[in-house]
Amino acid sequence: MIIAVQDLPLFKQKALQWASSFDAACYLDSNGFNDPYGKFDTLIAIGAKNEVIAQVGSSFDQLEAFRQNNPGWIAGFLGYDLKNETEQLSSANPDGLQFPDLYFFAPLHLIVIKDGKTEIISDEPEQIFDLISQQELIIHKEQFAITLKSRFNKQEYIDAVKGIQEHINRGDIYVTNFCQEFFAEHVQIDPSGIFTQLNEVSPTPFSTFFKWRDNYILGASPERFLAKRGNKLVSQPIKGTAKRGADLQADELIKQELRNHPKELQENVMIVDLVRNDLTKSAKQGTVKTEELFGIHSFQYVHQMISTVVCELEEGLSAIQAIKNTFPMGSMTGAPKIRAMQLMEQYERSKRGVYSGAIGYLSPDNDFDLNVVIRTLLYNSAKQYLSFHAGSAITYHADPEKEYEECLLKAQAVMEVLGGKK
CA distances from 149 to 154, 181, 285 (A): 12, 8, 48
Q: What is the pLDDT of residue 421?
A: 52
Q: Residue range 208-222: average pLDDT?
A: 97
Q: Is the pLDDT of residue 84 over 60?
A: yes
Q: Residue range 244-263: average pLDDT?
A: 92
Phi, psi (5° rounding) for residue 199? -70, -25
Q: What is the pLDDT of residue 416?
A: 85
Q: Residue range 317-326: average pLDDT?
A: 98
Instruction: List the alpha helices (DSSP H) in 106-261.
Output: 125-133, 154-170, 191-201, 248-259
What whole-number distance in Å separates Cα of residue 341 and Cα of residue 335?
9
Q: Is the pLDDT of residue 18 over 60?
A: yes
Which of 400, 422, 418 shows the shortest CA–CA distance to 189?
418
Lowest-confidence pick of 11-25, 143-157, 276-290, 334-348: 143-157
Confidence class for position 34, pLDDT limits 50, 70, 90: confident
Structure confidence by residue, pLDDT tens digits, 46-83: 999 999 999 999 999 999 999 999 999 999 999 999 99
Provide the residue ranges of all domains of the chain, joining segments of one domain with +.
2-136+143-418
Structure confidence by residue, pLDDT tens digits, 256-311: 999 999 988 988 998 999 999 999 999 999 999 999 999 999 998 899 999 999 99
Q: Residue range 215-231: average pLDDT?
A: 97
Instruction: List the alpha helices (DSSP H) in 20-146.
Output: 59-69, 83-86, 125-133
Confidence class for position 139, pLDDT limits 50, 70, 90: confident
Q: What percent of the chain has pLDDT over 90?
A: 87
What whole-number distance in Å separates Cα of residue 129 and Cα of residue 23?
20
Structure confidence by residue, pLDDT tens digits, 154-201: 999 999 999 999 999 999 999 999 999 999 999 999 999 999 999 998
Cβ-contact 352, 96 below 8 angstroms: no
Q: Is the pLDDT of residue 388 over 70?
A: yes
Mean pLDDT over all residues of the chain? Answer: 95
Q: What is the pLDDT of residue 328?
A: 97
Confidence class for position 420, pLDDT limits 50, 70, 90: low
The residues, any chain, with a CB within 8 Å of residue 405's CB and separated by 6 or more, are: none
Q: What is the pLDDT of residue 263?
A: 85
CATH architecture observed for domain 2-136+143-418? 4-Layer Sandwich (3.60)
